[in-house]
A and B are shown apart, each in its own frame.
Chain A
C-alpha cells in the first residue's frame, strides 16, 4: 500500500485539513469566534463531501478505511451532532472570555475527527488511533471548567484513568487478535490451525470489554455520570452522543450483523440486562439533570444493544432509527439545557432549577417535554417509533427475557422522565425573577430544528428505515433480506 492510493473518505480529509488550518490560524492570531466559524464551516464542508473518497478500495479488504452506507450514515449523524454541539458551545465562548480560548472548538474538532476515523475504520490501527484521538481530546474538554468548577479536574482525571485502562484492555485484545490471524483487519478473530480455542475467545472478550467501557455498558459504566457532571454541558452532550455513536458504529462494524460467536449471546444478554436495569435504576434517584441524562443514556445503549443482538430483517431499520431518535432527542435535551442556562444564574443542571418552567418560559418547557417524552418512547416523538422497532426486532427474533427487561426499564424510565415534566409544571413558590435573557437566536433555532426532526421523524418514520448495516462479514453469511 503506497501513499498515493490510500483509500481515504473525503470527510476525514476535510476535517483534518480544517483542523490544520485552524491550528495555523491560531499561531497567527487567537480568536474564539474565528475558530468557531472555522470549525462549523469545516463540518458543513465535510457533510457536503460525504460519499466521496480518494484512492481506490483494495480488493483484498486490507484497506485502512471503508466507505459504505453504514459508515456514511453514522458519519452524518456524528458531524450533525458536532455541529449542534458547537452551536451550544458558542454561548460559553460568548460570555466567558477569561477561561475559554480557541482550544475549545479545536478540541471539539479533534474529537469529531477521532469519531469519524472510528466510524470509517476497517482496520485495528485506524480504529485505535481514532479512539485515542477522541479520548484524549475529550479529556481536555472535560477539564475545561477547572478554574471555576473543581469537579472539572476530577472528571478529566477519572476519564483519563478509566479510559486508559479500557484502552489498554482493548489494545491487549487487538494484540491477541493480531497474533491469531496475523491481520489487522477489523473483524473478530477466528481460530485457525493448532491455535488453542480459548485464544480467539479471549481476544474477542477483551475487545468487547474495551468497547463496553467506552460505551459505558453496565459493569463498566461508573465513569460516565461523574465525567458528564464535571464537564461543561456541551462536552457532556458530546460524550453522550458523538462518542457513543462512534463506538456503537464500530461495534456493529466489528461484529457484523451475521452470525456471532456462540459465547457472544450469553455475555451480551447479561450485559444488556444489567445495562438497562442499572442505568434506569441509577437515574431514578438523581437530582442533577446531567447525571440523570448520563444514566438514561446508559439505559438507551442497552436498548440499542437489544436490536444489535437480534439479527433479522427488522434489525437494520431498528438500529438506524433508534440511533437517529436517540441522537435527536438527547441533543434536544442538551440544547434546551443550554438555552435555559442564564449567565450568572441557574445553569439548568439541577432538576430543582426547572421548577415552574411552564409558567416562566413555556416554549422551552414544551420543547424539553417533547424531547423527554421522545426519549421515554411516547408518541408523537420519534422515540416512540424507535422503541416500537426495537421491540419488534426482539419479538421477531424471539428474545422474551430481554423484552421483559426492556419493559421494566421503560416503565422506570418513564417515571424519571415524567418527574422532570412534573417539576416543570409545579407552580413556582415565588415569582421567578425576570432575568435579563440575552438573546441567543442560534439556540432557539437549534431547539426548533431538533423538535421538528423529532416530531416529523415520529409522524413519518417511513423514510428513516433503510437497510444500512454493513453486510455480514465472514464466509457463512446470512443474507440481509431487507430491501430499502
Chain B
C-alpha cells in the first residue's frame, strides 16, 4: 500500500474523529479529543518512519510516488511524490505538531474538538502541499490550508484576532490567485505546444518557454510564495497574524506555514523556471537582504513578545530567500537548514511566549520582567532558544546562516556583507528580549507562577537536541534534504491520460 495518500488523509480523518469525540457529552472525558489527536500524530509518525527507513525498491532520487486520475478531462491527477526535501519538511511539521499537542493545545477548553479538527486539517493541507506534484492538486492544498488556519485565528485568537485573520486570508488568497494564473498560463503554453493538457510538473518542466513568458509565469508563482514566506513588501499580514493567533496556531504559522513558501520557491520557482529564476536572482536577493535588515530592525523596536518573534521570523526568512536564489547548491542547502532550524527554534519561542501569556495575561515586555527567579526552567529554555535565534555557532540557525552567507559571498560580496550586518540587530533584539523578560529585576506584585513541569521540559529538550544536532553535525541533513531534480521522473510508468 502506498503511504503517501495515507499521510495526507490520516490527519483529516483523525481530525473528524477528534471533533466527534469533542462533541460527545459526559461520561466521555473532555480531553478525549486531545488523545485522539495524539494517537493520530503517533500513527502518522509511524508511517513516516516507515517511509524514511524502508528499503527502496528503485534507485531514483524520488522516494515514493503515488498517482490516481482525478479529473481526466483536464489532465488533472492526484500525483504525490516525495523526495528528501518534502520528507524533512514533513518531519519538521510532525515534530512541531507534537510540540503543540504537548504544550499548547491542551489548554484550549472552549470547543476543544473543533479546535483539534482545524489543527489537524491545517496539518493535512500542509502535508498535501509538501507532497503534491500536480499543479492543480498543489493549488488545491495551498488554498485548503488557509480555511482552517483562518478559523483558528479568528475564533481562538487574542484581542484583535478577526482583523488579523482577515488580513492573513486576503493576502494569501489574493496572491494565490496570481499563482493560479501562472499555473494555467504554464499549462496552456504546454498545451499549445504539444496539445496535451496536463498539470504534471515533471512534464511541464520540459516546456520550452520564451524568456519573457517564463519570467512572467515565474513572477506569478514568486508573488504567492513571497507572501507566504514572507518577503518584505508583502509581509504586513505576518506580524498581526502571528501575534493574534492562539499559541498552537502561531507555532503552525511560524514553524510550517512559512516553510511552504520556501518549499514552493525551491520546487516551483527555481526548479520549474531555472532560467527566469537566475535572471530574477539579483532582485530576489536584494529583497532577501532588505527582509533581513528590515525585520531585524523592526524586531528591535517591539514591546510585544510575539510581535518581536514575528519580526525576527521575517529577518530569518530573508536568509532563506537569499540562499534559494544564490544559485548554488550550497545556498540551497543553507536555506533548507535555515528553514528547519528556524521552524524548530521559533516554534519553541512561540510556545514559551504563549506560556508566559497564559500565566501573566500580557505580552507586553514592559509589564513582564524578572521571571528568572520565579520560573527558572521556562527562563532557561527562553534563553536557549533566544540565543539559537541570534545564530549562536553550534546551533542549527548558525549552520543555515553560515552556508547562505558563504554561498552569497561567491555571488556578491556586498550582499553577503549587508546580510551579515543583519546579524548585529539580531543579537540586539534577542538579548534585549532575554534581558527584559527573564533577567531584569523581578517586578513587584508578580503572582505566584507555575514553572514548566518536567514533561514540558522534556519536550522542549527534544527540540533543543534537534537544534544542537543540526548545528554540530549537519552533514547528513545537508545531503538528505536536497530537493530532487524535476528532470528525473518519480516513476517509469506514468499515468497521464
Which residues of A are interface residues toward B (Cβ below 8 A)? 314, 317, 358, 373, 378-380, 384, 388, 391-392, 395-396, 403, 407, 410-411, 414-415, 418-419, 421-422, 425-426, 461-462, 465
Contact = CB atoms under 8 A, between A and B. Distances in A.
23 contacts: A314-B74, A358-B155, A373-B147, A379-B144, A388-B136, A388-B180, A391-B177, A391-B180, A392-B74, A392-B184, A392-B188, A395-B184, A407-B181, A411-B174, A411-B177, A414-B174, A415-B170, A418-B150, A419-B166, A421-B154, A425-B155, A461-B71, A462-B73
A380 B144 contact: yes
Given A378-B146, A379-B144, A410-B177, 5 more contacts: A388-B139, A395-B181, A396-B188, A425-B155, A461-B71
B394 to A, nearest CB: 43
B30 interface: no
Contact of B147 (A378, A395, A396, A410): A378
B71 A465 contact: yes
A28 B181 CA distance: 61
Contacts of B136: 388
Contacts of B165: 422
**Top 7 A-B residue pairs of the complex, sorted by shortest distance between their CB atoms:** A395-B184, A462-B71, A411-B174, A379-B144, A465-B73, A407-B177, A422-B162
B385 interface: no
B121 to A, nearest CB: 10
A249 B174 CA distance: 31
Contacts of B146: 378
Contacts of B187: 392, 395
A414 to B, nearest CB: 6
B185 interface: yes
Contacts of A317: 73-74
Contacts of B155: 358, 425
Nearest to A366: B114
A422 B154 contact: yes
Given A425-B151, A425-B155, A425-B162, A411 B184 contact: no
Contacts of B169: 414, 418
A418 B174 CA distance: 13
Contacts of B180: 388, 391
Contacts of A380: 144
A444 to B, nearest CB: 17
B191 to A, nearest CB: 8
A317 B154 CA distance: 36
Interface string B36-73: 00000000000000000000000000000000001111
A419 B169 CA distance: 11
A411 B181 contact: no
Contacts of A421: 154
Nearest to B182: A395
A317 B140 CA distance: 19
Interface string B429-451: 00000000000000000000000
A426 B177 contact: no
Interface string B163-181: 0011001100110011011
Contacts of A418: 150, 166, 169-170
Contacts of A396: 184, 188, 191
Contacts of B154: 421-422, 425
Contacts of A392: 74, 184, 187-188
B143 interface: yes
A403 B185 CA distance: 12
Interface residues of B, number: 32
Interface string B116-158: 0000000000000000000010011001101100110011000
Interface of B: 70-74, 136, 139-140, 143-144, 146-147, 150-151, 154-155, 162, 165-166, 169-170, 173-174, 177-178, 180-181, 184-185, 187-188, 191
B169 to A, nearest CB: 6
Given A422-B162, A425-B151, A391 B173 contact: no
Given A391-B180, A396-B188, A411-B173, A422 B166 contact: yes
Contacts of B181: 391, 395, 403, 407
Contacts of B178: 407
Nearest to A376: B173
Given A384-B143, A392-B184, A395-B184, A415 B166 contact: yes
A391 B220 CA distance: 14
Contacts of B143: 378-379, 384
A462 B184 CA distance: 18
Nearest to A380: B144
B483 to A, nearest CB: 26
Contacts of A461: 71
A414 B150 CA distance: 13
B292 to A, nearest CB: 29
Contacts of A426: 162
B174 to A, nearest CB: 5
A314 B192 CA distance: 13
Contact of B74 (A378, A411, A465): A465
Contacts of A378: 143, 146-147, 173
Contacts of B151: 425
B219 to A, nearest CB: 14
Nearest to A385: B71
Contacts of B73: 317, 462, 465
A462 B162 contact: no
Contacts of A415: 166, 170
A376 B407 CA distance: 43
A379 B188 contact: no
B302 to A, nearest CB: 26
B164 to A, nearest CB: 11
Contact of A462 (B72, B139, B140, B185): B72
Contacts of A419: 166
Nearest to A461: B71
Contacts of A391: 177, 180-181, 184
B409 to A, nearest CB: 40
A219 to B, nearest CB: 26
Nearest to A462: B71
B267 to A, nearest CB: 20
A411 B171 CA distance: 9
B304 to A, nearest CB: 23
Given A422-B165, A425-B154, A379 B140 contact: yes
A480 B460 CA distance: 62
A392 B187 CA distance: 9
Given A425-B155, A465-B73, A414 B170 contact: yes
Given A422-B154, A462-B71, A395 B188 contact: yes
A36 B368 CA distance: 67
A9 B4 CA distance: 50
Nearest to B162: A422
A415 B184 CA distance: 24
Contacts of B177: 391, 407, 410-411
B111 to A, nearest CB: 9
A407 B170 CA distance: 12
A462 B70 contact: yes
Contacts of A465: 71, 73-74
B9 to A, nearest CB: 12
Nearest to B180: A391
A410 B173 CA distance: 9
A410 B178 CA distance: 11
A361 to B, nearest CB: 14
B497 to A, nearest CB: 11
A414 B166 CA distance: 9
Nearest to B145: A379
A419 B170 CA distance: 11
A414 B170 CA distance: 7
B210 to A, nearest CB: 14
Contacts of A425: 151, 154-155, 162
Nearest to A398: B188
Nearest to B192: A396
A403 B187 CA distance: 16
Nearest to A393: B184
